[in-house]
Amino acid sequence: MTDKKCFLVTGGLGCIGAETTKWLLKNTTANVVICGRDVRPARVARVFHDITRTRLKVIAVDVANEQLISDTIQNEGITHVIHLAALQTPDCNQHRDLGMQINLGGTQNLIEALKRHRSQIERFVFASSIAVYGPRAFYPEGLVPVDAVPNPVNVYGAWKLAGENITRIFNEETGIDSISLRPGVLFGPGRDAGLTSSPTTALKSVALGIPFEIPFCNRQDYLYAPDVGAAFGHATLDHFTGYSAFTLPSHTVDTSRFVSSIKSASKTLGIKSQCSLRIGKQVVPFICDLAYDTFHSAFPNAPHTDLDAAVLASLRTFQQQTERGWLSTDTIQ
């Protein structure tokens, strides 16, 4: 690709946003602009401490401000947009007006801004969620296809489903190739909040040497954060036409299997004595067993890291963060 391309990543300092940005900087020669509400230099330096930032620009832009978004697209020469800015499930449940303004209204604001500059936009990728589906019991046994009937269990999922629909309509109205990606339970570097963040908190707790209980015990579709960032990168750059929604490659396992992987990783890293994990009895409502064959067919070069290797890499990262003083008991409360 050429340096005439410029990527805009909303929510670029969040878990997926940071991993997507790192992937873009490592795998392209283009400039990357990330925006968010909290863009303190110290935060930026920590998130991107391990990557050259000469082609990275960080700006304070709230997706609620359509005019500022539009100006950014024009002034920075944006050609590809990855939309990740959103409140997560707990905040959406507690602050529904704000959640609707950001998750749904912000998406519509961004799309309207894109329409103003449609001649320069080549691809739009929207971060949806597996929360658009219903509980696992709502679907038959076996793998659940990507086109299974949506049945959101909370407002977060309902707004994500609405975002998919307005993304599809955006494609139909403008002809700009657009994609909705549906991540599941992310774990690894950068994950710090959300209904299903506790497996990552378990990893951090082992790095810190403190006990922790993962509250839920049921199967989930686990996705390694750097893989998800790469998936967004490939969806933004690889050949694609039209509009589609995709679920992403995952590992469907129960909590005990995930904990076993953490224990093995702690032994490999010589910190087995620090591993004190328990498993609760809660059952989270999200879907699992989601098929991702359509994504693999569309983007065959996207990585899918082995679960044990991904857990080991994550624990090693958190161990390093602990040694640097970046990770402490205060930061995971």
User: What is the separation of C-alpha 73 from the centre of its chain, rounded to a whole number of angstroms?
Assistant: 22
Q: What angle do CA 31, 37, 42 make, to 5 degrees?
A: 75
Q: Please tell me the predicted confidence (pLDDT) of residue 194.
A: 67
- 307: nearest Cα among 219, 238, 190: 219
Q: Please tell me the predicted confidence (pLDDT) of residue 284.
A: 80
**Dist CA 299 CA 12 (whole Å):** 22
**Dist CA 305 CA 33 (whole Å):** 27
Note the pTM of the prediction, 2 decimals.
0.95
**Contact (Cβ atoms closer than 8 angstroms) between residue 8 and residue 81:** yes
Q: Please tell me the predicted confidence (pLDDT) of residue 146.
A: 97
**Neighbour tally for 293: CB within 10 Å:** 13
Domain spans, the chain:
6-186+224-250+286-305
Q: Please tell me the predicted confidence (pLDDT) of residue 2.
A: 41
CATH architecture classification, 6-186+224-250+286-305: 3-Layer(aba) Sandwich (3.40)
Q: Please tell me the predicted confidence (pLDDT) of residue 330.
A: 84
- 226: nearest Cα among 187, 261, 253: 187
pLDDT tens per residue across all 333 residues of the chain: 345 899 999 999 999 999 999 999 999 999 999 998 888 999 999 999 989 999 999 999 888 889 999 999 999 999 999 999 998 888 888 999 998 999 999 999 999 999 999 999 999 999 999 999 999 999 999 999 999 999 998 999 999 999 999 999 999 999 999 999 999 999 999 887 666 889 999 999 999 999 999 999 999 999 999 999 999 999 999 999 999 999 999 999 999 999 999 999 999 999 999 999 999 999 887 799 999 999 999 999 999 999 999 999 999 999 999 999 999 988 776
